[in-house]
Chains A and B, each alone.
Chain A
Amino acid sequence: MSDKPTFSIDLDSLKTRRKDTTPESQGRVDAAGEQHGFVNREPNRKRGRQPSPRVGQVHAKVMPNVADEIADEAKRRGVQQGVIIEEAWVLYKNR
């Protein structure tokens, strides 16, 4: 097979043509599409906060002062209490 192009392209003839991109014309295009069943088929992007990956649970009864301290620390840092427990667990494993 030959590597030579079998036809030549005149780059100067590949000219930009102006297209109508005003919101009004796009509105008319969308309406024309809708009439022929060419409708919005994109999944809605999820709004708001993404669900937390923290779905595991521990069942821990602790002394009231420990519960208070964990709660206070979580509040101070603005994290879930589970984050404190995860960090404590890492420290425990590396002890």
Chain B
Amino acid sequence: MPIVTVASPKGGAGKSTASIILATELAHAGAEVTILDCDPNRSISIWADRGTLPPRINVRSDVGESEIVKTLKQQDADGRVVIVDLEGVASRLVSRAISQADLVLTPMRATTLDATIGVRALALIEEEEEALGRAIRHAVVFTMTRAIKSKQHTAIEKSLRGQGVDIITPPLMERAAFSALFEFGGDLRTMPVQGKMEPAAENASAFAQAVYNRLVGKGL
């Protein structure tokens, strides 16, 4: 069971949105997916209650720092993926969820502030790798990006790459369909048309595929 921990101490970076897109795309492609809602604000649970959960997805909520390691161990099974959505804070729960991850995904808006705060997650991962004596694969995904890359985006991307950070392509573009996930629940296929659906669906799928490739150890 690959565990994907979605973590950034920056609030509103797009963690829950990325979690839902990843979960629904992987489930659509045939994987069993469990999302652990570890955010006391319960974004994922709100999404789950809004509409019908797509096939092969289940959600567990209210997982706190004393349960996280045990819960992840219980969810252990081949052929499924567990996605951990966390609150946008620097907490011990985040640090514990990272320790059990096969892949840590750090969503980041392409702004200096988001990058500065998001990088704290990367520093923590490095420290945990040392504490555990194993490599923890991690990648940044830019979120809410525009068709035309801002100068800031280009500069941040260059700086991260320069530090050897794995950056997922494509980024998650700013799309009405993505923000509407919380309004309608379900996935991109079940919601009423929001803006341009085709490019949103392509973006979601290509993003999920890029994450999947990392989970099965295929090329960067």
Contact with B along A54-77 (1 / 0, CB 8 A): 000000000000000000000000
Is A40 touching B92 in the complex (CB atoms < 8 A)? yes
Q: Is the interface of B mostly helix, strand, loop or mixed?
A: helix
The size of the chain A interface, using a CB distance under 8 A, is 35
Asked if residues B102 and A17 are in contact (CB atoms below 8 Å), the reply is yes
- Whether A1 lies near B201 (C-beta < 8 A) is yes
Q: Complex Cα distance A28/B79, Å?
A: 30
Number of contacting residues on B, CB 8 A? 54
Q: Please name the residue on chain A nearest to B28 by beta carbon.
A: A5
Q: In whole angstroms, how far apart are the Cα atoms of A42 and B202 in the complex?
A: 39
B198 contacts A32, CB within 8 Å? no
A38 and B92 CA atoms in complex are apart in Å by 5
Instruction: Pick 24 A–B contacts, CB within 8 A, sort by A.
Output: A1-B188, A9-B30, A11-B30, A12-B79, A14-B1, A14-B80, A17-B2, A19-B72, A19-B100, A21-B100, A25-B99, A25-B132, A28-B132, A29-B128, A30-B96, A32-B130, A32-B131, A38-B9, A38-B91, A40-B65, A40-B91, A41-B92, A42-B64, A42-B91
